[in-house]
């Protein structure tokens, strides 16, 4: 254990990263009670006790075009974090996801002689594998969340540890299903369809209209259907309400209760990303949708060398959940797939079995604790 009170700098740029970073710091404090943390993140990190110097909610964007639109703000945040590194001289920089931003910050830290732990590996195994060597030069250790990532980094001689996925073992409802159904007013309602439109403003803008188009079609097809929208902590009412007010179907929003809501759902419409694993671990059948600015998507397809964009499909190594991308992510196609899930029992049962396979691949949990142990080891060296 370190002799002086250690200081770590933790930098996360999205809602999922904010949540993962919070779990990490809470586990690290169990090992080193006197540890202090500062950095960039949002509400979850603040609640965990991290001194958040920059709120990342406004720069949680993906895609080339989207980043360019927010370039000035992202550059300001990066410069602020670099200045913080020089001023505070933390004992360890922990980069949580937010790949390009954190890559630049990791390089700055290495130049200052500050150790770097990168958590949630850049998906260089999926696109631009040539960048692995550059990441290896910028970090001291790579903490990965999928077992198949280990041999990739080992082949590039990059120190790597598989810590497990941060969601494994954590997708646990706080209420029993019967209690949740009653609390959310879903008793006797069928089908219950969950909506997960994302955690970023540009995701909401681009994908929620298609989701609501599907809701209108499904409402006509299944008049007894009820819809529930899981609102991410980073999503404000102001982002959602202009869209919801234009929809003739009543859609209640519930914030901070994802796992309680998911266990009530017969089917879920979710955007691609970490949310797909939350749904998979809950066992709820789903459809995954994904849409970017046309140029961003075109450039991405030139560099990506994997067949799927949905994490459940990537982990399973085959298509177990339908993905609708770009123009295919429209109300008609989404509604057709949800209708199939609702009506075709054999199809749905097979999907549930496949999702249990994904849960088994992710393991039983403890990823945050293992990551904290790795961070503590790096602090003690």
Question: pLDDT by residue (tens digit) across 213-246?
Answer: 999 999 999 999 999 999 988 888 999 999 999 9
**In whole angstroms, how far apart are CA 332 and each of 292, 299, 300, 335?**
19, 27, 25, 5
Residues in a beta bridge with 304: 127
Per-residue pLDDT at 2: 44
Predicted pLDDT at 112: 97
Nearest to 158 by CA among 179, 131, 192, 176: 131
120's enclosing H/E stretch is none
Predicted confidence band of residue 34 (pLDDT cuts 50, 70, 90): very high
- 7-169+365-380 classified as CATH 3.30.420.40: no
For 137-144, what is the mean pLDDT?
94
Q: Which token pair is 149?
A: 């990532």
Q: Would you place residue 97 in the very low, low, confident or very high pLDDT band (cuts 50, 70, 90)?
A: confident
Highest-confidence range of 132-146, 162-176, 318-332, by mean pLDDT? 318-332
The residues facing 166 across adjacent strands are none
Does the pLDDT value for residue 124 go beyond 60? no
The Cα–Cα gap between 30 and 32 comes to: 6
Percent of the chain scoring above 70 in pLDDT: 90
pLDDT category at 171 given cuts 50, 70, 90 is confident
**Residue among 60, 67, 26 at smallest CA distance from 42:** 60
In this prediction, residue 15 carries a pLDDT of 81
pLDDT of residue 1: 45
What does the pLDDT average to over 234-259? 91
Cβ burial 275-306 (10 Å sphere, 16+ → b, else e)? bbbbbbbbbbbbbbbbbbbeebbeeeeeeeee
Q: CA–CA distance from 302 to each of 61, 125, 295 (Å)?
A: 20, 14, 11
pLDDT for the residue numbered 167: 84
Average pLDDT over residues 86-102: 94
- Which of 199, 12, 20 shows the shortest CA–CA distance to 105? 12
> Does the pLDDT at position 207 exceed 70?
yes
In the sheet with 286-290, reading across from the earlier edge strand, the strands are 253-255, 226-231, 192-196, 267-271, 286-290, 323-325
Residue in this structure with the two tokens 């639109």, named with its chain if needed: 69
pLDDT band of residue 72 (cuts 50, 70, 90) is confident
Q: Which residues contact 315 (CB under 8 A, 6 or more apart)?
A: 146, 358, 361, 362
87-101, 148-162, 278-292: which range is least confident on average?
148-162
173-177 long-range contacts (CB < 8 A, ≥24 apart) are 173/259, 173/260, 173/262, 173/263, 174/257, 174/259, 174/260, 175/260, 177/263, 177/264
Q: Would you state the pLDDT for residue 151?
A: 87
Q: What pLDDT is attached to residue 300?
A: 62
Residue carrying structure tokens 């970073």: 21
Question: Is the pLDDT assigned to residue 148 strictly greater than 60?
Answer: yes
pTM value is 0.77
pLDDT score for 245: 92
Q: Calculate the average pLDDT of the chain.
A: 89
| Chain centroid offset of residue 76 CA | 24
pLDDT in the model for residue 282: 93
CA distance linking residue 341 with residue 279, whole number of Å: 14
Closest CA to 215 of 263, 268, 274, 291: 268
Query: What would the mean pLDDT of 90-108 be, rounded to a whole number?
Result: 94
Q: Under a CB-based contact definition with an 8 Å cutoff, are residues 180 and 254 in contact?
A: no
- 222: CB partners within 8 A, 6+ apart: 191, 339, 342
1.10.3720.10, 3.40.50.2000, 3.40.50.970, 3.30.360.10: CATH of 177-362: 3.40.50.2000
d(C-alpha 6, C-alpha 34), whole Å: 7
Mean pLDDT, to the nearest integer, of 296-304?
61
DSSP assignment letter at 304: B
Residue ranges covered by each domain of the chain: 7-169+365-380, 177-362
Q: Which residue has the higher pLDDT, 294 or 345?
A: 345
Position 234 scores a pLDDT of 80
pLDDT at 29: 97
- Examine the pLDDT at 32 and tell me if it is beyond 70: yes
- One fold for both 7-169+365-380 and 177-362? yes
> Among 9-18, 146-155, 292-301, which is the least confidently predicted range?
292-301
pLDDT value for 208: 96
Give the pLDDT mean for 205-215. 95
**Mean pLDDT (whole number) for 83-111:** 94
- Listed in sequence order, the residues at least 6 apart from 221 whose beta carbon sits closer than 8 Å to its beta carbon are 335, 339
Question: What stretch of H or E contains 145?
Answer: none
Mean pLDDT over 355-365 rounds to 88
């Amino acid at each position: 254990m370190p002799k002086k009170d250690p200081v770590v700098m933790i930098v996360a740029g999205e809602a999922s990263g904010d949540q993962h970073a919070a779990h990490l710091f809470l586990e690290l404090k169990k090992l080193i009670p006197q540890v202090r943390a500062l950095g960039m993140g949002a509400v979850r990190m603040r609640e965990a006790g991290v001194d958040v110097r920059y709120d990342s909610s406004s720069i949680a964007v993906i895609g080339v075009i989207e980043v360019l639109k927010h370039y000035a703000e992202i550059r300001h945040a990066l410069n602020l974090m670099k200045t913080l590194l020089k001023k505070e001289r933390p004992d360890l920089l922990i980069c949580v996801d937010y790949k390009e931003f954190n890559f630049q910050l990791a390089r700055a830290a290495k130049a200052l002689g500050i150790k770097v732990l990168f958590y949630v590996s850049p998906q260089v195994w999926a696109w631009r594998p040539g960048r692995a060597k550059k990441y290896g030069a910028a970090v001291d250790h790579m903490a990965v969340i999928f077992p198949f990532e280990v041999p990739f980094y080992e082949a590039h001689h990059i120190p790597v540890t598989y810590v497990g996925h941060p969601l494994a073992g954590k997708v646990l409802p706080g209420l029993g299903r019967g209690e949740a159904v009653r609390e959310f007013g879903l008793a006797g309602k069928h089908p219950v369809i969950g909506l997960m439109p994302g955690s970023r403003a540009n995701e909401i803008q681009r994908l929620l209209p298609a989701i609501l188009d599907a809701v209108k079609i499904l409402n006509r097809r299944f008049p007894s259907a009820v819809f529930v929208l899981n609102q991410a902590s980073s999503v404000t009412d102001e982002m959602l309400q202009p869209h919801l007010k234009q929809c003739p179907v009543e859609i209640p929003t519930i914030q901070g209760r994802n796992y309680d809501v998911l266990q009530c759902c017969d089917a879920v419409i979710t955007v691609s990303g970490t949310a797909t694993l939350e749904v998979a671990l809950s066992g709820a059948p789903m459809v995954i949708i994904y849409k970017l600015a046309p140029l961003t998507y075109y450039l991405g397809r030139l560099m990506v060398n994997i067949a799927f964009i949905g994490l459940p499909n990537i982990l399973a190594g085959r298509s177990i959940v339908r993905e609708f991308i770009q123009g295919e992510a429209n109300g008609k196609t989404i509604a057709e797939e949800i209708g199939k899930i609702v009506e075709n029992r054999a199809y749905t049962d097979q999907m549930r079995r496949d999702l249990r396979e994904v849960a088994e691949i992710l393991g039983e949990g403890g990823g945050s604790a293992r990551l904290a142990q790795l961070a503590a080891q790096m602090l003690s060296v």
